[in-house]
Structure 1
């Protein structure tokens, strides 16, 4: 029997599973596949680049009739990016890493739900004050950018603050066991990134998918060197978790020196443009150990949901 929660009721989805809107990775095909399988697919709108956004939102709208949404980096966008997405009539808009208040009213006025990702309790209160319909409590185990709170204690703290509003757990969740654990913490579902990055529909180079299969959670690390090299302008408070590469090994602990080395920055960007695996970031959470293959995203959704249902069922029988 499918697991039903406040999140599945609110979004009219079958499973309490959402795709993390990974910028440049979670395109329209991946979001549609997750939605068609019964989860909530979220296109990674990132900084709101217009041509990319138009192409990928058209793709998801064309390939699913189920609810879907789009996510943005709040600190990096303006109202025009949000309006561009809202014109496609998404079921939800997710905002991460910044103040959601300037965009909350226009999202609600368009009939979309507002999902806000938070990394600490101050951000949690700000999201609640902005009227978020759903919160995502992201633990530091997550791949890509995030904060410093661990998922296990952070999720229930956000659940207690959120009251009746549903909370999704994120960070280190890559299978049905993680989803079941999130539900046990009081969350209404899970938002998953790294596991879906290792899917057939993700907009990754093949080498990235292979690196995720071979990667180990022990090897992932948080840092700023790759953002400095890319010229990403990310707020310093949000570091990024990645698998190691040769560039990180060279510049680890030398971030201030890197900022001022024009030659190293130019060499990095030239290598990144060639997709050199020694420099290209492979965003990966600590649950990368659980990834052993590349599969269609819909298959991943169904497998995660079935495993979680089995775990919850076994726990229920054990308690009886």
Structure 2
């Protein structure tokens, strides 16, 4: 296998990583083993702590030791956490903390006081301006092609990223949404980003905390199989703000309730049925989050090897473009 030399950007220099590739801190799948493997491969691995659950952190954080002292981070769903969650994370001295989906302002001062890199994800220009005003060290510009949650009325990655890059300059920006191979990483760099935040591609790796059926569905899935919706959040009783929907693969509850969200929300029996079906193993415990680039995912490599592959592909793509 060809070895990637490393593309130096403001992001790699700030975080001390070899490649401009970061693991999206996906709740439910980005555990300690996956984050450590990405960091070991030369990217920035990030734990998907979601709400900062103490038991989850106690189980997953020790696995970060496998990163071998390399930079790593932890991500939170801003609307679900409190100051205690931030404190618990900072006790373990992550190199970066990422805040997504919600108002980050209550937590910014504490993170910066810990000399920790503050990463804020944005889905529109209002959120971008706020992130700049709050002094974010890195901004993630997430397009609607992304798997999992994102803005219901957001913008596609290709036109959104350069606008954020211009607005945030000189703050480094990571592109997110629809990036599943090195060509996507190269495209992000060509748009002016300092790297890429990759989610769905890393769900299909040996270290991801996903049900085997989910990994199989991602490998076999196609872009047209994905759909952005609120149905599954409502059915499972998740209190996600209505501003954000989730892109998932198909699901029988989605088929049953598509277009009937208000009716579903008013039907407690439907939510009980959902929990019953999860308990019986008839449906996965979590929806199958997957982005539009799922077509590009055809195997289940180790995450460390995948980082190298993505970086090598990105360098090759940029070299080809430079010869045109």
TM over 0.5: yes
Partner of 2:16: 12
Which aligned segments of 4 or more residues in structure 1 are displaced greater than 2 angstroms? 61-64, 273-280
Partner of 2:65: 61
Question: Structure 1 residues 128 and 274, CA, compared in 2 at 3 Å: closer, same or farther?
Answer: farther
Partner of 1:281: 287
For the residue of structure 1 that corresponds to 2:294, the secondary structure is helix
Rounded to whole Å, the distance in 2 between the matches of 1:273 and 1:300 is 33
Of 135, 158, 182, which aligns to 1:152?
Answer: 158
Q: Does 1:217 align with 2:223?
A: yes
Of 15, 28, 32, which aligns to 2:32?
Answer: 28
Task: Report the TM-score, using the length of structure 2 for normalisation.
Answer: 0.96
Unaligned runs of 5+ in 1: none
User: Is residue 176–residue 197 contact of structure 2 (8 Å, CA) maintained in 1?
Assistant: yes
Q: Which moved more, 1:59-68 or 1:283-292?
A: 59-68
For the aligned residues, what is the CA RMSD? 1.1
Report the CA distance between 1:278 and its aligned residue. 7.0
Of 127, 130, 133, which aligns to 2:131?
Answer: 127
User: Is residue 37–residue 66 contact of structure 2 (8 Å, CA) maintained in 1?
Assistant: no
Report the CA distance between 1:145 and its aligned residue. 0.2
For the residue of structure 1 that corresponds to 2:300, the secondary structure is coil
Unaligned runs of 5+ in 2: none
Q: Does 1:293 align with 2:299?
A: yes
Q: Does 1:3 align with 2:4?
A: no
Q: Matches of residues 1-320 of structure 1 in structure 2 within 5 Å?
A: 1-147=5-151, 148-277=154-283, 280-318=286-324
Report the CA distance between 1:19 and its aligned residue. 0.1
Question: Structure 1 residues 131 and 273, CA, compared in 2 at 3 Å: closer, same or farther?
Answer: farther
**How many corresponding residue pairs?**
318
Question: Structure 1 residues 182 and 243, CA, compared in 2 at 3 Å: closer, same or farther?
Answer: same
Rounded to whole Å, the distance in 2 between the matches of 1:65 and 1:152 is 34
Report the CA distance between 1:62 and its aligned residue. 4.9
Question: Structure 1 residues 275 and 283, CA, compared in 2 at 3 Å: closer, same or farther?
Answer: farther
User: Is residue 245–residue 278 contact of structure 1 (8 Å, CA) maintained in 2?
Assistant: no
For the residue of structure 2 that corresponds to 1:293, the secondary structure is coil
Question: Structure 1 residues 278 and 32, CA, compared in 2 at 3 Å: closer, same or farther?
Answer: closer
